[in-house]
Amino acid sequence: MIICKKIWEMTCHNMIIVTLMLFLITGSLIMTGILVKKQEKSQENADRFEEEYGENQYYWVTEALDDRQYYTYLEGDYNGTQYKGLVNVLQSLWDEKQFSFCTCCCQSFCTNSKMQDIFLEGYEDGYADFAVSKRNGTDWYEVKTLMVSEKFFEINHINVKSGEKFSQQDYLWKEGEIVPVLLGKSYENFYHINDVFSGEYFGKELTLKVIGFLDDNSFYLSSSKNDFVSVERYMVLPALEIEEKTEFSQLLSLMELNGTIVSKTGFQNTGGICTELIENQGLKWELNLHNPQDESPQFVVKKYRKMTGQVAEQFRILVLLVMVFAIIALLINSFSILKKNQYAFGVELLCGASYKNILMEGAGFIFFILFTGDLWAVLFLLAMNSGIRSIILIQIIVGTASVITLICCIVYMKKMEIGDIIGGQE
């Protein structure tokens, strides 16, 4: 009882420091809990990825029209037969059951609204300046975008964190309609849902409206980089299906042939199915299917694991540093409070307290902060649905921290010379 009273007294007399310590401990424990959750999720994603695609083969798909075919399609398709055929080919590819095809077309959206450098083409390579040009005295910015079909999210395991994902309706577009857009995580700091961007896409004036933000740790398999690339700095547009043949819709549909195929049926078979789908529409075009050795399933799965592992590793180091800092800060501040109470401990010793009682008061005070922080963190993690593993892990950390602080506390209090009240060293 008297120990509790003393701990409470020390807490009340150092309310500001105790509150700050509580914030620090709670915050770092919550971060640790979130790390575990994130790691679990990454692991889950990697496992699911391996389970679903470990046996699969990846192919990059690009249109392979020669110049004659290209210009005939764009300028000589008077009755729209080729356009209609291409639209049907795309639909068949998206619906194909023997493999999964997703459109993934990396192009720029040009806008005269001021954009942060990180969202501009070439930023990662140090060429963001080249993505800004002047037209009639106004700056225009080339913003990185991905135009994707529905299966893009499934193939790359990308989810929407906030807002809405693309609905079936969002893929259908008519002249004058606003195009919905999903933004990568980095956009969150600058833009909100329902924000609107005006600009040009394939030379067509378009208005984009933000409908959501993508999950952290989202990567897509890029054919140009031959690697997983984070979508955090990308705008993601739906692969638009446009009924009316216009210069814009012709160009856009052709671009929508670029993407990724995930297939178990082998290179020859997959290529054969694609050719058949094209020929069925009376077109004599070819698709390029790349199957370099690097894109073997094992390699892709390994890459995916490495990518998610790297993100988790960075976060782990950060959390570890914060945790160590939090414990050191707790010890330093607690020791200064214990030092302030040295005289009171000495008085208690004279009144019949044992060294053990006094040690329990000192350690109890530190434990009070530690366990209160732990309690808040657990409640927060429970509210966040972070899972039992996160909670068990932070209990292990708190347990370890308790042992460390207890040892430090014993050593410190032994050196405090609390029995010096009578006369000192005469």
Maximum pairwise Cα distance, the chain = 111
Q: Which residue, among 192, 196, 229, has the nearest Cα to 104 in the 3D structure?
A: 229
Structure tokens at 171: 């893929």
User: Where do contacts with another protein occur on this chain (CB under 8 A)?
Assistant: 1-2, 9, 13, 343-344, 346-357, 419, 421-426
Distance between start and end Cα atoms, the chain:
35
> What count of other Cβ atoms lies within 10 Å of the Cβ of residue 35?
20
- Burial (Cβ within 10 Å: 0-12, 13-18, ≥19) of residue 83: buried
SS3 233: coil
Residue 82, CA distances (Å) to 206, 243, 310 in order: 25, 13, 46
Structure tokens at 164: 């809405």
CA distance 218 to 228: 9
CA distance 348 to 52: 67
DSSP states along 119-185: GBTTGGGT-GGGGEEEETTEEEEEEEEEEE-THHHHHTT--EEEE----GGGGB--TTPPEEEEE-G
DSSP states along 234-262: -EEEE--B-SS--HHHHHHHHHTT-EEEE
Do 212 and 291 meet the contact criterion of CB atoms below 8 Å apart? no
Phi, psi of 326 (to 5 degrees): -60, -45
CA distance 133 to 108: 13
Do 82 and 73 meet the contact criterion of CB atoms below 8 Å apart? yes
DSSP states along 49-72: HHHHHSS-EEEEEEE---HHHHHH
Quick one: the chain helix, strand, coil %, rounded to 5?
A: 55, 20, 25
